[in-house]
């Protein structure tokens, strides 16, 4: 009886090992795909992956949503363990990641899939992944700061003509001073930092000079001053109030939030809205500050050539079949999708309706942009509301960015 028990234990152990080996084998045929899509957009990506896996590809895709993805990327790259086969990263991460050796070129993937090429994507979405002539990413979308408008309020305040040229100017907004009912406002402060950076472009400026961060500049000062005029006139939603919800409640003419918000606005009963470009200090130029979700391969020596070909097949499927992503309110990067009649049913198709609109989608690719965006986001509300001195705060922001860069260089041993 004792011998039988030992034999049974041994057989169980062998059987378990065989099952484990089979599990490892199946993992080799799975593309582990990380994304930071923690909102509703994660469900849309789940659906795309489900549809792809239903085609019975050689390498199926496993979508893993990670809220602290960039922290985890740093961890797995440093350890060399648990590196995903594919990831979605934001455009502003590409220059730094390439410099740090975090990304692998997509040379093999692109050579296996000839339609994964620049001509088949929105130009700025593709070019964000091009560093020194090497392609490190394939784009999924452009997600942009845009301006929604309340059609009923525009009519009520005789402001429909603001939209005649699709450029709402700050002077046009100021013309409504003293004409609004109590509790109504011209514009909210949604994504205010993005709006400020759009004005920098509208005014002919930039956020870097000769590779150095340029925050404490005359053009940044003018950008803040132009937006501050709206708040000073009492036309911006009150400081500390949720201007996004106030727009949905029917008390704000314009809301400067994101393309992705269209799905939420559409669910609000009675909200009669449209979309246009972010307001500008000049009628001659408009900019919609944007970013892009990009497919990228993190550095991983264990990734096989066969799996790279599987990744290429998945990306080619998405190039042809990402209409589902339009449902998430995103500007799809694939020209095959955005040029199809069905795409015109989505409100964000406005931003690919002509070349001027496409050109307005401005993606910052400066290496230290993330630090500049953090500084602008941290201080912009107080500057625009007049809670702090503009000149002093710009100097503080410049130092904030320079300190972040120095800290990062020290950590990298540079």
Tokens at 305, concatenated: 């050539």
For residue 246, how far is the Cα from the chain centroid? 24
Residue 124 to residue 134: CA distance in whole angstroms: 15
Could you give the number of structural domains in the chain? Answer: 2
| Same-domain pairing of 285 and 298 | no
Residue 11 domain flag: no
| Same-domain pairing of 100 and 121 | yes
- Report the chain (414 residues): mean pLDDT per 10 consecutive residues: 44 38 54 95 96 97 95 93 96 95 96 97 97 98 98 98 97 98 98 98 96 97 98 97 98 98 96 98 96 97 94 98 96 98 97 98 95 98 98 98 92 70
Residue 16 domain flag: no
| Same-domain pairing of 308 and 167 | no
> What string of DSSP letters covers 135-186?
E-EEE-EEEEB-EEEEHHHHHHTT-GGGGTTS--BHHHHHTTTT-SPTT-EE
Residue 251 domain flag: yes
| Same-domain pairing of 191 and 179 | yes
Residue 139 to residue 117: CA distance in whole angstroms: 10
Please tell me whether residue 366 adopts helix, strand or coil conformation.
coil
| Same-domain pairing of 158 and 88 | no
Last residue of a domain, one of 332, 347, 363: 363
Angle at 318 between CA 298 and CA 26, to 5 degrees: 60
Look up the domain containing 331 and give its range.
Answer: 29-140+292-363
| Same-domain pairing of 241 and 271 | yes
| Same-domain pairing of 199 and 298 | no
| Same-domain pairing of 204 and 253 | yes
| Same-domain pairing of 323 and 186 | no
What pLDDT does 28 receive?
83
| Same-domain pairing of 208 and 283 | yes
Residue 83 domain flag: yes
Residue 322 domain flag: yes
pTM to 2 decimals? Answer: 0.90
Decide if 287 contacts 278 (C-beta within 8 A). Answer: yes
CATH code, domain with 382: 3.40.190.10
Residue 66 to residue 38: CA distance in whole angstroms: 7
| Same-domain pairing of 318 and 394 | no
| Same-domain pairing of 351 and 374 | no
For residue 116, how far is the Cα from the chain centroid? 21
Residue 303 domain flag: yes
Please tell me whether residue 388 adopts helix, strand or coil conformation.
coil
Residue 280 to residue 145: CA distance in whole angstroms: 13
Residue 196 domain flag: yes
- How is the chain split among helix, strand and coil, in percent rounded to 5? 50, 15, 30
Residue 406 domain flag: yes
Last residue of a domain, one of 363, 379, 395: 363
What pLDDT does 408 receive?
85
């Amino acid at each position: 009886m004792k011998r039988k028990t030992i034999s049974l234990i041994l057989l169980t152990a062998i059987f378990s090992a065989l099952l484990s080996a089979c599990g490892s084998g199946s993992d080799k045929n799975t593309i582990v795909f990380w994304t930071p899509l923690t909102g509703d957009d994660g469900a849309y990506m789940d659906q795309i992956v489900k549809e792809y896996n239903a085609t019975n590809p050689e390498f199926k895709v496993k979508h893993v949503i990670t809220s602290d993805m960039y922290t985890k990327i740093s961890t797995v790259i440093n350890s060399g363990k648990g590196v995903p086969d594919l990831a979605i990263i934001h455009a502003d991460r590409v220059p730094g990641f390439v410099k740090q050796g975090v990304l692998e070129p997509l040379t093999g993937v692109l050579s296996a899939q000839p339609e994964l090429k620049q001509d088949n994507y929105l130009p700025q979405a593709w070019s964000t992944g091009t560093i020194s002539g090497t392609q490190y990413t394939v784009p999924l979308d452009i997600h942009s700061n845009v301006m929604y408008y309340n059609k009923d309020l525009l009519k009520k305040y005789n402001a429909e003509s603001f939209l005649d040229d699709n450029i709402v100017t700050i002077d046009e907004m100021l013309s409504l001073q003293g004409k609004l009912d109590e509790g109504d406002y011209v514009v909210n402060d949604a994504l205010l930092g993005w709006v400020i950076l759009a004005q920098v472009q509208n005014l002919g400026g930039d956020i870097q000079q000769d590779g150095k961060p340029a925050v404490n500049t005359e053009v940044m000062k003018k950008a803040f001053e132009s937006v501050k005029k709206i708040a000073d006139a009492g036309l911006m939603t009150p400081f500390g109030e949720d201007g996004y919800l106030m727009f949905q409640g029917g008390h704000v003419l314009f809301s400067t939030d994101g393309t992705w918000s269209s799905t939420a606005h559409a669910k609000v009963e009675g909200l009669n809205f449209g979309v246009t470009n972010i307001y500008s200090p000049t009628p001659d130029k408009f900019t919609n500050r944007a970013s892009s979700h990009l497919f990228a391969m993190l550095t991983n020596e264990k990734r096989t050539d066969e799996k790279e070909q599987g990744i290429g097949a998945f990306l080619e499927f998405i190039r042809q079949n990402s209409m589902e992503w339009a449902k998430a309110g995103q500007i799809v990067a694939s020209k095959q999708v955005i040029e199809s009649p069905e795409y015109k049913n989505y409100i964000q198709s406005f931003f690919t309706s002509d070349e001027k609109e496409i050109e307005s989608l401005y993606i910052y690719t400066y290496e230290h942009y993330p630090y500049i965006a953090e500084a602008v986001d941290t201080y912009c509300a107080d500057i625009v509301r007049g809670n702090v001195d503009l000149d002093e705060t710009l100097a503080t922001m410049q130092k904030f960015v320079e300190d972040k860069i120095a800290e990062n260089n020290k950590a990298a041993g540079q």
